[in-house]
Structure formats: C-alpha cells, structure tokens
Amino acid sequence: MIQLDPAASLPLVAQIVEAIRSRVQSGIWLDGMKLPSIRKLATSCAVSPLTVSNAYNRLVAEGFLQARPASGYFVTHELAPPSRQEKPLSHPPSVDSLWLLQRAYEGGERQIQAGCGWLPEAFLYGSGVRSALNSLGRRPDMIELGYGNPYGHEGLRDQIALSLARQGIACPRSGIILTHGASQALELAIRCLARPGDTVLVEDPGYCNLFPALRALGLVLYGVPRLKDGPCLESLARLVQEKRPKAFIINTRLHNPTGTSCSAPVLHKLLRIAETTNLMLIEDDIFGDLAPETSPTLAYLGQLEQVIRISSFSKTISPGLRVGYVASGPAFARNILKLKMASSLTSTHMSEAIVHHILADGRYRLHLARVREKLAHQQEKALRRFARTGLVPFCKPEGGMFLWMRFKQEQNVLQLTRDAAQSDFLLAPGDYFSPENARSPWLRFNVTQCDRTELFTFLNHWKATQHASTCA
C-alpha cells in the first residue's frame, strides 16, 4: 500500500496523489486496475476518508483515475492525454511570461515564488477585510441582489476622490469609474483611445502580462527603454515622431519590474512631449501606495488633462477583491462607462463595499505605513544576501517589493529559470518583461520571498556548477 509521512512538508493529500500518479505512470498499476476503496485506503494510511476522497478526486480531474458509480475508482490511461503527464521541467514546451504566471498560481506549498509580482498574505490587510465583513454582514441594506451602480460604489468613489485630493490631484466623483481590478481599467482606457492597427507605446522592460493583452486587441507595440530615473525621453520622442502612437502606458512609481521611480524633471519633459504631440499618457500607479508619499506622479504634475490615472487595491488590501479604478476627466470617464457597461454591466458591489469600509475606517493609512516599513527592511536584507551571491542591482528602489538583479558575470538566466523550477524555486527572467522577448541578463526578485536560505544556496550552487562546466 502507500506509505505516508505525517511530518513531511508536503500535505497528506498531495502525498497520496504523488504516490498513485507515480505508480500509474511507471506502469506498476495497469489500465483498468481497481483501487482500494476510500475507507480501506484511509484505514491503511491512518488518515481520514475525506483525505483519500480529495486525493482520488484530484486524480480523476487529472485523468489518472476514472470514477465508476457503485463500482469504485479505476486506473485509466485513456483520459490522461500526454500533455497532462508529468514532464521534465528542464525542457518545458514554452518558457515565457504565461508559463511563469501559470506556475505561480499553480504552485504548491513547497514552491518559493522568488519572482512573483504580489505581496504574501502577511503583508496584506486581512484584519481590515475581516472587520469590514463583520460590520457589513450586520447591515441588511448590504444584501443587494441587483447589478448596482455602473459607475461603482458611490462611497468608495468619494473616498478615492478624497485620496487623490490629498495627493494634489483634482478629480470629481464623476471622473472616477470603478473596475474589476487594474487589468480591466487598462483595457477599457486603451479601447477608448485606440483601434486595431493603432500603435501604443509600452515600457521596456515592462509589465509582462500587458503585452499579450494589448496584442489581443490588435494593437502594434513599441517599447521605450526604462532608465533609472524613468523612460528614455530621446527614444520616446523619436517613436512619437515616427509611429504616431495613441498612448504611452507607464509605471511612474515603483516600476514593474525594475522598482525604479520617475524623477520630477523626467515627468515634466514627458508631459511637454505629450502636450505638443497629443499623446495620451496612461499612468498605471498600481504600486503607488507602497511608494514614499512625496514621490511625484504624472497625475499631480499634469492633472488629468493629458493623463489617465489607473490604480487598484489588489496589491495592498487583497488581490481577491479585484477592485480597481480609472480616474480621468468626466468626458473621458463617460466613454469608459459605456465600454464597461457593454462588457460587464457593473463591477462587484460587495467587494467595493468592503474596500470603502476599509478606507472610511481610517486605519488603512497606518497599514500602508507598516507595509512600507516592512518592505524597506526586507529590501535591505535581500540586497546584502544578493551581494554575497554575486548578483548586483539595477538600482536601489525607493521602496516597493521588486529588485531588478543580474549576475556580475553573464549567465543563461532562462536555463537558470528551468533548473530552479525543478527545485521548486519560481524565478522571473528579464526576457519575460521585454515586449519582443529580447534576451536579457536580468531577473526580477520579490524581496518578500527572498528570506529563504535555500534560495541563495541554490543560486550559489547553480553558479558554481555553471562555472565548473565552462572551465571543463
């Protein structure tokens, strides 16, 4: 039968799944063989029947078992296409940003997501969400079964307008549209500005999941090199002159993936270019709440005339709530509203009510201050450990979760990524963040995931192995 280890880090359900899967794949258990009943295997393994049931159900979903009513569970190879079988991760069919994202979301408990783009639960505002749920659950008026306001929760829009005013950004409530996360906000803004065949500028490196989304809309992309103080203005001016783009999408603060923030002089010059060429600037400020409050933004320097501001609460409260927004002039907001209603009617009222409760409660700003302090501490620790491992940063960011790192001696970072995946380390190589998938020596690291000794042990061992192989 199957031997389990209750002291192992791998959950018991996963241990049963791996044991059965390996027997099926190796041919020890043949097609059509009947497995022990749930109760019999549970007794043999000293676990609950629910544990075995969960394991069997997972294997049915993967195509390794077939459940026959009133008969039990049977091994089957017919339902398991070759693509579902385990394959060596050193030769994945396509190692790209979508592969990275899929592995990140599918990762088990043992996986160290060193290159992921979000904060762990310990950094999110779980206590605020629980408090909001407890409070809202006692209010009968919160049980709304209709679609709600297409603009979004009025109270939350008021809170956002107030927050923008504190940052020196004038925006009436009529200029704020709530969306299903920042991704929907970006899509709606672009669809209002561009049509299939139009050109849009993005940052290089930039947000990897943005590129396929824009291409799916039929848009032509050109990358603007990202420097330590912002976009390369010389390249931007040339592309604007030659390609006549409809918009430029930019992270001004705590850029993904480099962690850099734009300087005020660069932003002023960028605004002048936009104003003289009628280029719309889409400021994706999704990491802005993690930046120093004094850091400049396009929406502050240029207000919302040539600038469309996008943000969300996914990075600091909870990604599961999926609450974002677009802030723009009221006329543009009405165009956003039409597209939003055409695609999704309204956004999620309950999620918006939770975020409104958190912002109105007054303790959210204290939460942000604590998160910024924790991230600064994690960043210092990570930089010291990377220095001992032989990796150097593009720059030292002014906060946030990202470090853009490279080895002093150039290495094959894609091979490193494949080898790391075999050891349950999820890395994010620079190729993923290029609009053209250009080769890059850089890696994005998340400082909240860089406190594990085994990560640096792996990096040191891998580097030594590559050096020995080269010398041989």
Q: Where are the domains of the chain?
A: 12-84, 97-116+367-471, 126-361
User: Does residue 451 or residue 247 have the better pLDDT?
Assistant: 247
Q: Is the model's pTM score more than 0.85? A: no
Q: pLDDT tens digit string along 26-62?
A: 878 888 899 999 889 988 888 888 788 888 888 887 7
Q: Give the model's pLDDT for residue 54.
A: 81
Angle CA(336)–CA(280)–CA(346) in degrees, nearest 5? 15
Q: pLDDT tens digit string along 139-178?
A: 776 656 567 789 999 999 999 999 999 999 999 999 999 9
Residue position matching structure tokens 């206590």: 127
- Report long-range pairs for 374-380 (Cβ below 8 Å, ≥24 apart): 374/123, 375/123, 375/290, 375/399, 375/400, 375/401, 375/447, 375/448, 378/447, 378/448, 378/450, 378/451, 379/403, 379/447
Q: pLDDT tens digit string along 324-348?
A: 999 999 999 999 999 999 988 888 8
Q: Give the model's pLDDT for residue 108.
A: 54
Indicate if the pLDDT at residue 436 is higher than 60. yes
Task: Please state which CATH number belongs to domain 126-361.
Answer: 3.40.640.10
% of the chain beyond a pLDDT of 70: 90
The set of residues, in sequence order, having a beta carbon less than 8 Å from that of 380 and lying 6+ positions away, is none
Indicate if the pLDDT at residue 86 is higher than 50. no
Q: Give the model's pLDDT for residue 88.
A: 34
pLDDT band at 78; cut points 50, 70, 90: low
Indicate if the pLDDT at residue 414 is higher than 60. yes
Q: Give the model's pLDDT for residue 99.
A: 54
pLDDT band at 392; cut points 50, 70, 90: very high
User: Does residue 90 or residue 196 have the better pLDDT?
Assistant: 196
Q: Give the model's pLDDT for residue 98.
A: 57
Indicate if the pLDDT at residue 14 is higher than 90. no
Q: What is the mean pLDDT of residues 243-263?
A: 98
The one-letter amino acid code at 288 reads G
**What does pLDDT average to over the chain?**
88
Q: Give the model's pLDDT for residue 144.
A: 61
CATH 1.10.10.10 fits domain 12-84: yes
Q: Give the model's pLDDT for residue 90.
A: 33
Indicate if the pLDDT at residue 91 is higher than 60. no
Q: Do domains 12-84 and 97-116+367-471 have the same CATH topology?
A: no
Indicate if the pLDDT at residue 106 is higher than 50. yes
Indicate if the pLDDT at residue 468 is higher than 70. no
Number of H helices, E strands in the chain: 16, 14
pLDDT band at 80; cut points 50, 70, 90: very low
The set of residues, in sequence order, having a beta carbon less than 8 Å from that of 336 and lying 6+ positions away, is 177, 188, 189, 192, 326, 328
Residue 202 contacts residue 214 (beta carbons within 8 Å):
yes
Indicate if the pLDDT at residue 87 is higher than 70. no
pLDDT band at 79; cut points 50, 70, 90: very low
Q: Which fold has domain 97-116+367-471?
A: Aspartate Aminotransferase, domain 1 (3.90.1150)
